[in-house]
Structure 1
Amino acid sequence: MASLIKLRQMSLLQRCALNHVYKTHLKNARNISTSKKNSDTAAAACETSKEDKNWVSYGFHYDNKTDDTNVHNASYFFSVTLCIVFGGFFWTYAPDAHLRDWAQREAFLELRRREQAGLPPIDPNYVPPSTVCLPSDEELKDIEIII
């Protein structure tokens, strides 16, 4: 968000050129010190109270305090409230994409069905032994069998 706002401002080359002109103008200017009259000091005090001297930009607008504050608040609202809060809410309460809950429910249903039928929870002969073809001892010879 900040980069989009910064892109809207002038290019880097334009800012460098203006900065160079401003610095050369200050070098050529000479300061004259005079004593201030009471009316000048009162006018100067009124002018400085309107301007906020201690304002530090958030980095969105360097010239306008209200625009800078508004864009700062908007970017934090969108990033924190919408992305983190609503994103976390959606991620927490989203449907189960990997079907973990479904597999657990199916396992409980299968266990209940086997208990009601009087069968053991897990059948030791999951595959019927008559359909399995095992090699004989002569075919195995010296092969070590690890169970």
Structure 2
Amino acid sequence: MAGIIKFRNMPIMQRCVWNHVNKMSRNISTKKTSDNATTTTAPPVCKDEKNWVSYGFDYNSHKEDTNVHNASFFFSVTLCLVFGGFAWAYAPDTHLRDWAQREAFLELRRREKAGLKPIDPNFIDPKLMKLPSDAEICNIETII
């Protein structure tokens, strides 16, 4: 979010890293002056406050920088983390895990009252299943 807002005010040619680093560096002028003094060009200074340090969204306007900083933190922290966490915590059970656990307890209680084992080893009646003979099985390669 912050990167998108930051790139909003930059021309396409300034988006590369080298131009961004050069923009932040202090350049020394080499032109000759009458008193042989060198002049330096400083990065843009805020016109609003004397000792203002930018959040990194806008280097020229204190008001724009503060507004974008507050908006990005509001959207990222309040909306995404707080309301997103609330929605995730109180979302309905889409995989029906609670329902499956309740059904399992009800089925166990029914089997206990009927005097049956909790899990029947013959879930499917063996008379209904058609299994291959041992002679047919021994020639087949088993891959585990």
TM-score by length of 2: 0.62
Q: Does residue 63 of the first structure (1) align with residue 60 of the second (2)?
A: yes
* Aligned-residue offset at 1:121: 1.2
Unaligned regions of 5+ residues in structure 1, if any? 32-49
Q: How does 1:23-102 map to 2 (within 5 A)?
A: 52-102=49-99
> 1:59-111 CA distances to partner (integer Å, 9 max, x unpaired)?
21111112211110110011011101211221122112222222111111111
Q: What does residue 120 of structure 2 align with?
A: 123
Flag the 1:105–1:28 CA change in 2: closer, same or farther, 3 A: farther
Compared CA separation, residues 107 and 25, structure 1 to 2 (3 A): same
The answer as to 2:129 corresponding to 1:132 is yes
Runs of 5+ consecutive residues of structure 2 not aligned to the other structure? 36-46, 140-144
Query: Matched residues in 2 for 1:25 and 1:135: separation?
Result: 92
- Aligned identity (percent) is 63
The CA distance in 1 between the partners of 2:61 and 2:123, in whole Å, is 76
Paired residues of 2:55 and 2:65 also in contact (CA < 8 A): yes
Question: 2:84, 2:137 → 1: CA distance?
Answer: 62
Aligned residue in 1 for 2:104: 107
Partner of 1:5: 5
Offset, 1:5: 2.9
Measured at CA, do residues 97 and 123 of structure 1 come closer, stay the same or move farther in structure 2, by a change above 3 Å? same
C-alpha distance after superposition, 1:2-58 (max 9, x if no partner): 3443344252558x8xx8xxx799957778xxxxxxxxxxxxxxxxxx963321111
SS in 1 for 2:109: helix
Q: How many residues align?
A: 118
- What is the alpha-carbon distance in structure 1 between the residues aligned to residue 72 and residue 87 of structure 2? 21
- Larger Cα-atom Rg: 1
Q: CA RMSD in A?
A: 3.5
Q: Quick one: distance in 1 between partners of 2:31 and 2:60?
A: 23
Task: Report the 3-state secondary structure (helix = DSSP H, G, I; strand = E; otherwise coil) of the residue aligned with 1:9.
Answer: coil
Which structure has greater helix proportion?
1
TM-score (norm 1): 0.61
